[in-house]
Amino acid sequence: MSQIPPPKEVVRCRGVTKSFGAGAATVAALRGVDLDVFDGELLLLVGPSGCGKTTLLSIIGAMLGRDAGDCAVMGRDPADMGRSERARFRGESLGFVFQGFNLLPTLTAQENVAVPLLIGGTPRRVAFEHAKELLDVVGLGDRLEARPSELSGGQQQRVAIARALARSPRLVLCDEPTSSLDHETGAEMVDLLRRAARTSGRALIVATHDTRIFSYADRVARMEDGRVLEVTPPAAAGGAP
């Protein structure tokens, strides 16, 4: 009897808590988050502003420590790593796409995408060649020399996506990646991310309150007040089937 192997878990969070501040000014940002994310899926993290989406992504992305609970990313706990090991883990295994794009303004599109490869030790010529291929994939093969200020918001976000994918990370974390884009461009971005996830078996977590992109998700995790309340297929969460 043949058996289909279960999907591989990329993220496993249990009872994760995080507070900011001290004394009367303490803010409980996460109040016990349970979440699983699997290879090849696009998981949307949705919920009102202030519910803890960015905090959770920062903990999963090894940029922020937690107060309590367990968080394994690819079977490893970032809290157990030393500072340089954590930086290497982030560079090799994780990709980030932020709302503000975070492109380096003085560098061209091709240079921006090549930076993580150069940091990872890829030879210059190879890094620039690969950056060109990645920009081709996101439809910017003809804008290699453009600086961020010469590109539209949607084009800048494409560069940011190409950069996040440059080192073929197992997990890509996106924080409100469509919030400064019009609907059509935002939908294109998420479709691009989803295809990248499917074709390479990567997992993607996209924090958003953009309900218009629900239909692109494999699953939707609904957050409220520092907790994940439920994880459902997108149709059940209010997106188109």
Ligand X SMILES: Nc1ncnc2c1ncn2[C@@H]1O[C@H](COP(=O)(O)OP(=O)(O)O)[C@@H](O)[C@H]1O
Give the Cα separation of 38 and 203 in Å (integer): 6
Residue 122 corresponds to which tokens in the numbers above? Answer: 């890829």
Q: Is 65 in the site for ligand X (CB under 6 A)?
A: no
Half-sphere exposure of 217 (CA within 13 A, CB side): 30
Shortest distance in whole angstroms from residue 142 CB to Mg ion: 33
Run of H or E residues at 225: none
Shortest distance in whole angstroms from residue 108 CB to ligand X: 31
Binding to ligand X by CB under 6 A, coded x per residue (else -) over 20-59, reads xx-----x-x-----------------x-xxxxxxx----
Q: Is 229 in the site for ligand X (CB under 6 A)?
A: no
Give the Cα separation of 107 and 50 in Å (integer): 33
- In the complex with Mg ion, which residue's Cβ is closer, 48 or 233? 48
Q: Is 61 in the site for ligand X (CB under 6 A)?
A: no
Scanning 29-37, 53-61, 62-70, 72-80 for contacts with Mg ion by CB under 5 A, the matching segment is 53-61
- In the complex with ligand X, which residue's Cβ is closer, 47 or 116? 47
Shortest distance in whole angstroms from residue 108 CB to Mg ion: 29
Task: Identify the bridge partners of residue 95 per DSSP, sorted by sequence position.
Answer: 172
| Residues 203, 11 contacting (CB under 8 angstroms) | yes
Q: Is 54 in the site for Mg ion (CB under 5 A)?
A: yes
* 3-class DSSP assignment, residue 210: coil
* 3-class DSSP assignment, residue 56: helix
Q: Is 238 in the site for ligand X (CB under 6 A)?
A: no
| Residues 107, 159 contacting (CB under 8 angstroms) | no
Q: Is 205 in the site for ligand X (CB under 6 A)?
A: no
Q: Is 58 in the site for Mg ion (CB under 5 A)?
A: no
Cβ-based burial of 127 (10 A; exposed 0-12, middle 13-18, buried ≥19): buried
**Binding partner of 227, given Mg ion, ligand X, none, CB within 5-8 angstroms per partner class:** none
Q: Is 16 in the site for ligand X (CB under 6 A)?
A: no
Q: Is 120 in the site for ligand X (CB under 6 A)?
A: no
Half-sphere exposure of 81 (CA within 13 A, CB side): 20
**Binding partner of 52, given Mg ion, ligand X, none, CB within 5-8 angstroms per partner class:** ligand X
Task: Identify the bridge partners of residue 171 per DSSP, sorted by sequence position.
Answer: 94, 203
Q: Is 157 in the site for ligand X (CB under 6 A)?
A: no
Chain residues in the site for ligand X (CB under 6 A): 20-21, 27, 29, 47, 49-55
